[in-house]
A and B are shown apart, each in its own frame.
Chain A
Amino acid sequence: MTKVTITSIITAITMLEYDFMRNAFAAAGVAAVVSGLVGYFLVLRGQTFAGHALSHIGFAGATGAVLIGVASVWGLVGFTVAAGIGMGLLGERISGRDVAIGVVLALALGFGLLFLHYYTAFATQATALLFGNVLAVDRAMIGTLVGLGLVTLGGLAAIMRPLIFASLQPELAEAKGVPLRFVSTAFLTVVALAVSECAQIVGILLVFSLMVGPPATAQRLVTGLWSGMALSAALALAEAWLGIAIAYHTDWPVSFCIAMLSALGYFLSRGNFLPRREETI
């Protein structure tokens, strides 16, 4: 064995000697698997923008909760679930209204800022919410994440069959008796829970790195539904854990490392990871 491998094994072991590192791995692992599985359907349905919208709306909820002395995760859950149900009930009518959504998103972020303004520990809270702070996760939070994750995956499992049918062939699904509006609303509720979970790890602004990057990569690589879901969850898990390990060694922010791995995986899978050369040279 070379000296380098021995050193890296030793660092890997010492890394796990710290409580905060073990917590980080556990929390990121739970959130990554949930994000990878739910994200697979988000990408399949072409609804990634909805995931983005929900996370932004969640920001106002999270900061609002902090202001009134409630844990930010519950504000996030409350606002995103309410927004998810609202978007689901509006249904098709919302798809042609991206300007309206854009305005609502900006307003939500604005409210988030206002709530932070009245909160004293402004900067730390803002950074933690927007970009995640997985190294500060405690045992209680892991319990919350596991509970939330089970509810999320349970909900997804309950609607999975009609969800796949309605995502791939909405007209036929409707004819066969699938309640499209209900399935769509239930799914956005599941997405809202997954976004809340994911935001605890990588932050509100970077939920795409676990909810869109790994499933999009998986869909480039395999064409089966089950293999796609499994690969998506595995990639999310690998990117989250590897991201934490890289952050530990380099002292770069964890969320940056995860976002970087997510983008790298996606562009590698597309086979065009090198930027195209300009013709003008």
Chain B
Amino acid sequence: MNVIELDRATIGIGGRSVLVDASFAIKRGEFIGVLGPNGAGKTTLMRAILGLLPPSAGDIRVFGRAPQRGDRHIGYLPQVRTVLPDLRVRGFDFIASSVHGERWGVPSLSRADRIMIDKTLTAVGAGDLAARPLSEMSGGERQRLLLAQALLGEPQLLLLDEPLISLDYRYQEAVVDLVRRFTRERNITVLFSAHELNQLIGTLDRVLYLGNGHAALGTVAEVVTPSVLSQLYGTDINVVHADGHIFVLSRGRDVEHAAHLHDEGHDHEHHHGHHHA
């Protein structure tokens, strides 16, 4: 069964089309790595799947029907996470705010809701974060908490928008492993966007490369080739395999690496080490 289907879909924001006439289908239980240059439409695609952005042409189907805003079967970890730095709300209350958070009135949690939150926190190893205020958590701990939140309520589809950003290398691996284990056990479909293919290479089933208005979905061997990527990036791309890693190069420069540095501005030391490892 296809969880997500795009049939000649065109998706755009502010008059600019980020995806033109794209068609692909994602099956149940697949772990899809979503990659591509900055501004290629990774976030936009997820917002379209969430029903926040209707396609300007063509068709998008999620669980066999048009995307519905607030679909309970979708777990979402947004990329822009506006967490106030001085937010002294405890972890439990923070993620509990999303449980039936769209209903009016005074918040209340049933016993079943509380048990579900506790179980999910424990499942991702974040049980100790329930009582701690957000302002005292590290970036990795916050990310784990947000991951637990995306997994609340047993979603069948998980949209994770750059969950590895601002995490150091050890945590990146831990997060990928955790998502993999949790979703495989429950046959959950995952769209996991990232800056670098190598972060996901041993984990993903197929890769969805976005760029230049186009989308290419397939195995790493099918998609991560000079001809496919040259079209997506709109420039001559070379693909180098080394040591179980894959590097996507444009005129000798690592494009993913460059994009990541451009986005984050820090982490230079760390990535340097990673590349020469």
> Taking beta carbons and an 8 Å cutoff, which residues of A are in contact with B?
44, 46, 157-162, 164-166, 168-178, 219-220, 223-225, 228
Residues on A with beta carbons closer than 8 Å to the beta carbon of B107: 160-161, 164, 225
A174 touches B104 (CB 8 A): no
Q: Contacting chain A: which of B76-84, B200-208, B223-231?
A: B76-84
B98 at interface by CB-CB < 8 Å: yes
Min C-beta distance of A37 to chain B, whole Å: 12
Q: Using A169-B94, A176-B98, A223-B132 as known contacts, list a sample of 12 further A-B pairs with CB atoms less than 8 Å apart, ordered by residue number in A.
A: A161-B106, A162-B101, A169-B78, A169-B82, A169-B98, A171-B81, A175-B50, A175-B70, A176-B102, A178-B101, A223-B93, A225-B97
Query: B218: CB under 8 A from chain A?
Result: no
Q: With A165-B97, A178-B101, A223-B133 known to touch, is A171 a contact of B88 (CB < 8 Å)?
A: no
Q: Which residues on the B side are within 8 Å of A44 (C-beta)?
A: 87, 89
Which residue in chain B gives the minimum CB-CB distance to A174? B52
Q: Which of B76, B84, B90 contacts A223 (CB 8 A)?
A: B90
| Chain A nearest Cβ from B188, distance in angstroms | 17
Q: Which residues of B contact A165 (CB under 8 A)?
A: 97-98, 101-102
Residues of B within 8 A of A174 (CB): 52
CA gap between A195 and B70 in the complex, in Å: 34
Chain A nearest Cβ from B141, distance in angstroms? 15
- Residue B186 at the A interface, CB < 8 A? no
* A177 vs B69: C-alpha distance when bound (angstroms): 6
Q: A217 → chain B, closest Cβ, in Å?
A: 11
- Assess whether B76 is in contact with A175, with CB atoms less than 8 Å apart: yes
- B88's contact among A169, A178, A223, by CB below 8 Å, is which? A223
Interface flag for B111 (CB, 8 Å): no
Interface size grouping (class) on chain B: 20 to 34
Residue B181 at the chain A interface, CB threshold 8 Å: no
Instruction: Check if A159 sits within 8 Å of B93, measured CB to CB.
Output: no
Contact A171 B133, beta carbon cutoff 8 Å: no
Task: Say yes or no: A172 contacts B104, CB within 8 Å.
Answer: no
Instruction: From known contacts A168-B87, A168-B97, A223-B133, infer whether A175 and B52 are also in contact, taking CB-CB under 8 Å.
Output: yes
Q: Determine whether B234 belongs to the interface, using a CB cutoff of 8 Å to chain A.
A: no
- Per DSSP, are chain A's interface residues mostly helix, strand or loop, or mixed? helix
Inter-chain contact A171/B82, CB cutoff 8 Å: yes
Q: Considering only CB atoms, which chain B residue lies closest to A167 in the complex?
A: B97
Pick from B69, B90, B97, B132: contact of A175, CB under 8 Å: B69
CB of B100 closer than 8 Å to a CB of A: yes
User: By the criterion CB–CB under 8 Å, are B101 and A175 in contact?
Assistant: no
User: Can you name 13 A-B pairs with beta carbons within 8 Å?
Assistant: A44-B87, A157-B106, A159-B104, A161-B106, A165-B98, A169-B82, A169-B98, A171-B80, A171-B82, A173-B101, A176-B101, A223-B132, A224-B93
User: How distant is the Cα of A228 from the Cα of B88 in the complex, in angstroms?
Assistant: 10
Min Cβ gap A240→B in Å is 24
Q: Which residues of B contact A162 (CB under 8 A)?
A: 101-104
B70 engages A176 (CB within 8 Å) = yes
**Chain B residues within 8 Å of A219, by CB:** 88-89
A192 to B4, alpha carbons, bound, how many Å? Answer: 45
Contact A173 B93 (CB under 8 A): no
Cβ of B105 < 8 Å from any Cβ of A?
A: yes
Q: Which residue on chain A has the smallest CB distance to residue B104?
A: A158
